[in-house]
């Protein structure tokens, strides 16, 4: 007999996944007993009162601009320097911001590598 018996894996997951896009759901019994209410935070449409005046302001679409001190290749070169050098840390910081901007679709303004022609 083995020292540690094998555990058979079931095909069904033990934990059911919930829809991550759904808002937080509070059961009706919990709402009645504790008075908890779900408050919507992000409004996509303009809400008006009985007189036609807006009750809330919807936030405008925000455009984030990133202005790195050099192009990505130069930042990569800077980031490969000595740990004691501040330029290495500057390069790593801006490289991380540059890649984050690419991921989130932010507008990247700034330096392009000059062609030596």
pLDDT tens, position by position, 4-36 = 666 666 666 666 666 655 556 666 776 677 766
Instruction: Tell me if 18 is assigned to some domain.
Output: no
The alpha helices in the chain, defined as continuous H runs, are 28-34, 72-79, 86-104
Give the count of domains, the chain.
1
Answer yes or no: are the C-beta atoms of 108 and 66 closer than 8 Å.
yes
Q: What CA–CA distance (Å, rounded) separates 112 from 68?
A: 10
Instruction: Tell me if 23 is assigned to some domain.
Output: no
Domain that holds residue 90: 28-108
Instruction: Tell me if 54 is assigned to some domain.
Output: yes
Looking at residue 16, what is its pLDDT? Answer: 66
Instruction: Tell me if 89 is assigned to some domain.
Output: yes
Instruction: Tell me if 13 is assigned to some domain.
Output: no
Instruction: Tell me if 22 is assigned to some domain.
Output: no
Is the pTM here over 0.85, yes or no?
Answer: no
């Amino acid at each position: 007999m083995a020292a540690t018996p094998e555990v058979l894996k079931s095909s069904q997951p033990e934990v059911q996944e919930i829809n991550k896009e759904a808002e937080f759901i509070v059961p009706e019994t919990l709402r009645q007993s504790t008075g908890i209410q779900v408050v919507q935070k992000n409004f996509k449409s303009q809400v008006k009162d009985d007189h036609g005046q807006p009750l809330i302001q919807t936030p405008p679409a925000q455009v984030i601009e990133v202005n790195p001190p050099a192009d990505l290749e130069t930042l990569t070169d800077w980031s490969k320097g000595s740990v004691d050098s501040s330029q290495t840390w500057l390069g790593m910081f801006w490289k991380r911001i540059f890649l984050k901007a690419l991921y989130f679709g932010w507008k990247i303004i700034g330096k392009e590598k000059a062609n030596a022609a």
